[in-house]
């Protein structure tokens, strides 16, 4: 945090007694959320009273897209430095948008992992500084839990429900039974769909982020021209794989280039359409299997950056309808990384008694289902999410 922000924070008296009194009297909680796990610096203010709709009072996101555009992907060191520069300004903007000061908050929620460690560390240190200066309680939030609890933020979906968390770095089917209770039914054993979209865009000379670029091109293409594989559909269960699909696209591109001397606009659009159709078919079939294995759920929801893809959304909604299950997808602004979901997840955890202190650590890896075996392996840093 910059010095001027901390100076103002030091002027605020300890708030723990005030927090306990307010929460005990009304049950209303107002949280500041901080998110910096990848390439977006975000801060939000969320208020909730039991039995009432959630109020997103502010939701500010400072994008780093232009900083990474020339590199074809997110550069961790650049991302970390940008978070350090933008965190205090983003937090101040969120408080100003909400019309509140730090003394009006009940607690601070921050993404403590998983993610790019430099960015996660920047957010955690900012939250710790504010908590130490103000006396506000601190709640560390798993970034994936923020996405997984988004259907409760937007639609108050009761537990338990099935969640497909599909983003740039993660893809997994989760049964969500509580704010800290997740059971993984399946996940990617290699690349996540968002990563595959980004790499596809790079292979075809499309701008980053790759998801929107590939989706836009796919609208103009023929999905049946290239016979791309549907990985792992011949294997039982809900695990997924997208690395081989990416390789198949590379080979198809090279074959076209070798034959024609380059790619036409039609070739590029057809490659995108075929790739997207393969991802759609895999996700739809694996969702069907996950739904069949989930008993007593209240609905099927999807969240994460790739959930913004309209073709994928439509296929998943159709799969849910065929299974006789309601389908929920958050507004597009809440699909990608944001701090409103972190603030709300913090509220949910706070109500279960969860608290953290100044020993809260930033974690590059943090599985939601700690009992499930690692899909991609572990190592000194622990199992991947």
**Most confident of the following: 181-195, 285-299, 301-315:** 285-299
Please say if the pLDDT value at position 12 is more than 50: no
Average pLDDT of the segment spanning 261-280: 97
Average pLDDT of the segment spanning 253-282: 97
Where along the chain do its domains lie? 3-152+336-351, 159-334
Average pLDDT of the segment spanning 15-32: 63
- Min mean pLDDT across 13-22, 84-93, 280-289 is at 13-22
Could you check whether 3-152+336-351 and 159-334 share the same CATH topology? Answer: yes
pLDDT value of position 376: 63
Q: How confident is the model at residue 370 (pLDDT cuts 50, 70, 90)?
A: confident
Tokens 């940008």 — which residue? 82
Render 31-86 in DSSP notation, one character per residue: EEEEE-SSSEEEEEEEEE-TTS--EEEEEEEEE-HHHHGGGTS--HHHHHHHHHHH
Tell me which fold the domain 3-152+336-351 belongs to.
Answer: Nucleotidyltransferase; domain 5 (3.30.420)
Render 251-312 in DSSP notation, one character per residue: HHHHHHHHHHSS--HHHHHHHHHHHHHHHHHHHHHHHHHHHHT--S-S-EEEESGGGG-HHH
From residue 230, alpha-carbon distances to 5, 27, 244, 248, 304 in Å are 51, 49, 9, 10, 22
Give the gyration radius of the chain's Cα atoms.
21
Average pLDDT over all residues of the chain: 89
Question: What does the pLDDT look like over 138-164, one tens digit per residue?
Answer: 999 999 999 999 999 999 999 999 999
pTM of the model: 0.88
| 181 CB burial (10 A radius; 0-12, 13-18, 19+) | middle
d(CA 355, CA 31): 13
Which residues contact residue 362 at a Cβ distance below 8 angstroms, ignoring those fewer than 6 apart?
112, 113, 117, 120, 121, 123, 124
pLDDT value of position 335: 86
**CATH architecture of structural domain 159-334:** 2-Layer Sandwich (3.30)
């Amino acid at each position: 945090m910059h010095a001027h922000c901390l100076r103002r924070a030091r002027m605020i008296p300890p708030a723990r007694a005030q927090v306990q009194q307010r929460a005990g009297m009304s049950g209303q909680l107002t949280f500041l959320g901080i998110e910096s796990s990848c390439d977006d610096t975000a801060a939000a203010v969320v208020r909730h009273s039991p039995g009432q709709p959630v109020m997103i009072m502010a939701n500010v996101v400072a994008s780093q897209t232009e900083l990474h555009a020339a590199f074809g992907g997110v550069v961790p060191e650049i991302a970390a430095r940008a978070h350090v520069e933008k965190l205090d300004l983003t937090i101040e903007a969120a408080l100003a948008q909400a019309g509140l000061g730090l003394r009006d908050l009940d607690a601070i929620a921050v993404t403590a992992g998983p993610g790019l460690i430099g960015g996660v560390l920047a957010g955690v240190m900012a939250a710790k500084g504010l908590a130490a200066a103000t006396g506000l309680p601190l709640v560390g939030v798993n970034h994936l839990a923020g996405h997984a609890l988004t259907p409760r933020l937007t639609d108050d979906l009761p537990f338990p429900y099935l969640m497909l968390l599909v983003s740039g770095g993660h893809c997994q089917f989760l049964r969500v039974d509580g704010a800290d209770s997740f059971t993984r039914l399946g996940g990617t054993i290699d690349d996540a769909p968002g990563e595959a979209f980004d790499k596809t865009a790079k292979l075809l000379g499309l701008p980053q982020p790759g998801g929107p670029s590939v989706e836009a091109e796919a609208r103009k293409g023929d999905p049946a021209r290239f016979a791309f594989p549907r990985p792992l559909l011949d294997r039982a269960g809900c695990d997924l794989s997208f690395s081989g699909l990416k390789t198949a696209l590379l080979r198809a591109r090279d074959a076209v280039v070798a034959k024609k001397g380059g790619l036409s606009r039609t070739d590029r659009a057809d490659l995108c359409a075929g790739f997207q159709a393969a991802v759609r078919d895999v996700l739809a079939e694996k969702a069907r299997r996950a739904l069949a294995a989930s008993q007593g759920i209240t609905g099927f929801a999807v969240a994460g950056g790739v959930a913004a893809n309209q073709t994928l959304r439509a296929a998943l909604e159709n799969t849910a309808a065929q299974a006789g299950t309601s389908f929920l997808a958050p507004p597009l602004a809440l699909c990608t990384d944001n701090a409103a979901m972190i603030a709300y997840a913090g509220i949910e955890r706070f109500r279960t008694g969860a608290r953290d202190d100044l020993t809260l650590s930033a974690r590059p890896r943090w599985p939601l289902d700690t009992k499930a075996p690692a899909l991609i392996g572990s190592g000194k840093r622990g199992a991947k999410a």
